[in-house]
Amino acid sequence: MAGRFLRAFQPLTRFIPEVKAPERKVSFGEKLLWTGLALIIYFIMSEIPLYGLHKSESVLVYRIIFASTQGTLMELGIGPIVTAGLILQLLAASGLISVDFSNPEDRALFTGASKVLAIVMTIFQASAYLISGVLRAMGSIQAIVIFVQLLIASLIVMLLDEMIQKGWGIGSGISLFILAGVAQHIMIDCFSLTQPVGNVGKFRGIIPALIDSLITGAPLSALIIRPGGDPSVIGLLLTIAIFMFCIYVQGVRVEIPISYSRYRGFRGKYPISLLYVSNLPIIFTSTLFGNIQIFGQILWNNYRDDPTLGPIIRLIGDFKWTPEGVRPIGGLAYYVASPRGFMDFIGEPIRYSIYIILLIIFCLIFSWVWLQVGGLDPRTVAKQLVDAGLQVPGFRRAEKPIEFILKRYIPTVTLLGGLIVGLMAAIADVFGAFGTGSGILLSVGIIYQYYQQIMREQIEELYPGIRKFLGE
C-alpha cells in the first residue's frame, strides 16, 4: 500500500523540471558561487512586486519562517515546499507510508512525491490567496496573471533548493532562504532610514536613531522602548542576548559512554543535546498559528455575514480592515497573533499572556509528538545503537538495557528543550527582538549547521582521501 502511494506520484514527476546531480566533484569555491547565486535570485524575487500590487513589509512570524515577502514574487515563500515536506515526513515517520531512505529507488520516489505535493500546495495556497478577499477589487485577468506568477516563482524556489541539495551548493535552499529572510529583517531593524511608525526619532532603524539622538542631544530614554513596533534599544540588546544564549545551548548535552563490541579498545560518547528535537517545535507551532490566521481570514472574508456560519467563523477569527491591512480583533486568531513589542504587551496583557501560554504549550506538545514519530524515542535509538554494534560499558549488548538508560534522559531533555525554545521565542516576541524570536532560534541552528558543513567541505578540499571516512 505504501509503495503504491509513492508510485502514484511517479507519472506526474515526468512533467516537473529537474536539476541533475553533478557528475563530478564540485569544488568548494564553485559550491559557494552557486549558493551565492541562489541567494541573489531569492533577494531579487523578494523585491519584484506581483502584477498590480505593491511590496509591503510584514514581520508576522509565519512570514519569517516561510521566507515570505508580502506583495512580491516571494509572497508564498518556501511555504508550499515546507508544508509538503512536513506532511510526507510525518506520514513516513508515523508508519502510514513505508519508505527505506537507504534505498536509492525509495529516495527517488519520496523526492518525486515531495515535488508533486509541493506543486499541489502551491496551487492551493495561491488560490486561497486570491479568494481571501485581498484581491477582491481586481479583475479576473489580473487574478490569473498573479496566480501564474506565484506558481512560476514557487517552481523557481523549488529548483533552487533542489540545485543546492543535489551537490551544486552548500546545505539546503530552504535553510538558506530562512536565514536570508531573518538576516534581512534584522538588518532593516538595525539600519533602516525610513520614518518610524511610532513617531519616536527620525529614523526607524535603531542604529541611525541612536546616532541621530547623540548628535541632536535628544533623550536616549525615548529609544529604550518605542511604540508602534519600531526597533528599540531593548530589542537590540535582547537580540544579541538570545543569539549568545542559543549558541551556548547548542553545546549543552548529556553524553552517554558507549563502546564498540567488536573492538574492545574503541570507546566514545553518545551525545543527547538539550535541544534534542532541534527547533522543529517552534516551526510547527508558528506554522499552526500562521495557518489559523490565514484560513481564519479567508473564512471571515467570505462567510462573516452568513447568519448560520458567521458566529462560528468569528470563533475561529474575527478581523477588521485597517490602514496597515487586516488585523484580528477576536476569536482564536486574535490570541495566536504575536505582539510587535513591549508596548503591545502592556496595552493588552491578558491577550498576549494567553499567546505566551499557548506558544509554550504547543511547543511542548510538538516536541513530544516529534519524539514519538520522528524516530528519536529511546526504543528506536537503542535499536540503532545495537544494530551499529555499540553498547554501554557495564551492560550487556541488548536493546532493553540501553533503552532503560536512554529513558532517563531523552523524555526529560525533549520536554525541557521544547520549554526553553517556546519560552525564548515568547520573550523575544514580547520585547521586540529583531527578526522575531522564532526567526532568531531558527537562524542560530542554521548557522551552526552551515558552520559544520563548511568545515567539512574545507577538510575534504585539503585532504581528499578523508572523504571515504565521511561517508562519501
- 273 lies in the same domain as 361: yes
Q: What is the pLDDT of residues 212-236, one digit of tens each?
A: 888 888 888 888 888 777 888 888 8
Mean pLDDT to the nearest integer, 252-276: 76
- 171 lies in the same domain as 209: no
Task: Tell me what pLDDT residue 1 has.
Answer: 44
Residue 397 lies in a domain: yes
Residue 449 lies in a domain: no
CA distances from 105 to 71, 97, 118, 253 (A): 39, 15, 20, 36
pLDDT band, residue 324 (cuts 50/70/90): low
Residue for cell digits 532517563?
408
- 401 lies in the same domain as 320: yes
- 144 lies in the same domain as 197: no
Q: Is the pLDDT of residue 314 over 60?
A: yes
- 116 lies in the same domain as 265: no
- 37 lies in the same domain as 96: yes
Write 24-28 long-range contacts (CB < 8 A, 24+): 26/167, 26/168, 27/461, 28/457, 28/458, 28/460, 28/461
- 223 lies in the same domain as 129: no
- Average pLDDT of the residues of the chain: 81
User: Number of structural domains, the chain?
Assistant: 3
Q: How many CB atoms lie within 10 A of CB 189?
A: 24
Residue 182 lies in a domain: yes
Torsion 324-443-94-378 (CA) sign: negative
Residue 81 lies in a domain: yes
Min mean pLDDT across 97-101, 242-246, 403-407, 421-425 is at 97-101
Q: What is the pLDDT of residues 7-63, one digit of tens each?
A: 777 788 778 888 888 888 888 888 889 999 999 999 999 888 887 776 665 555 567
- 125 lies in the same domain as 248: no
Q: Is the pLDDT of residue 2 over 60?
A: no
- 347 lies in the same domain as 388: yes
Which of 189, 220, 253 terminates a domain? The answer is 189
Q: What is the pLDDT of residues 130-176, one digit of tens each?
A: 766 555 556 677 888 888 999 999 999 999 998 998 888 888 888 88
Write 17-25 long-range contacts (CB < 8 A, 24+): 17/155, 17/159, 18/162, 19/159, 19/162, 19/163, 19/166, 19/168, 20/166, 21/166, 21/167, 22/166, 22/167, 22/168
Q: What is the pLDDT of residues 167-207, one digit of tens each?
A: 888 888 888 888 888 888 888 889 988 888 777 778 888 89
- 287 lies in the same domain as 415: yes
The domain spanning residue 289 has which CATH number?
1.10.3370.10
Domain boundaries, position 104: 1-16+26-189
Q: How many CB atoms lie within 10 A of CB 450?
A: 17
- 274 lies in the same domain as 211: no
Q: Is the pLDDT of residue 338 over 70?
A: yes
- 258 lies in the same domain as 399: yes
Residue 97 lies in a domain: yes
Residue 465 lies in a domain: no
Residue 185 lies in a domain: yes
Residue 440 lies in a domain: no
**Rg value, the chain, Cα:** 24
